[in-house]
Amino acid sequence: MATHINLSVRHLNRIFQQEMGVSTGEWLEQARISRARELLIEQLPIKAVATSCGYSSSDVMRRAFKKITGMSPATYQKIYGVTK
């Protein structure tokens, strides 16, 4: 993306941080977790949620999810999931 708008990656990251208040990596992680929350509410299998959100495994997603939300994806799904 940086080369598409004729900026260095470093400069784009710096501008992004100033404007958004978080790094591009943090923003991406938050976006992934936000999407994971939506899919978990719909009662999709955790492994499918991890794949859909771009995680290499459900364990990697679990660690990221717990770091941001304070609970595991399974716990989140039990509390907030829609019953079918």
- pLDDT over 80 at 1, yes or no: no
pLDDT digits (tens, 9 = 90+) for 58-80: 999 999 999 999 999 999 999 99
| Residue pLDDT, tens place only, 32-55 | 999 999 999 999 999 999 999 999
- The superfamily in CATH containing domain 3-80 is Homeodomain-like (1.10.10.60)
Whole-prediction pTM: 0.85
What local confidence, expressed as pLDDT, does residue 84 receive? 61
SS (H, E, C) the chain: CCHHHCCCHHHHHHHHHHHHCCCHHHHHHHHHHHHHHHHHHCCCCHHHHHHHCCCCCHHHHHHHHHHHHCCCHHHHHHHHCCCC
Return the domain boundaries, the chain: 3-80
Token representation of residue 12: 């784009």
Which residue did the predictor score with more confidence, 83 or 6?
6
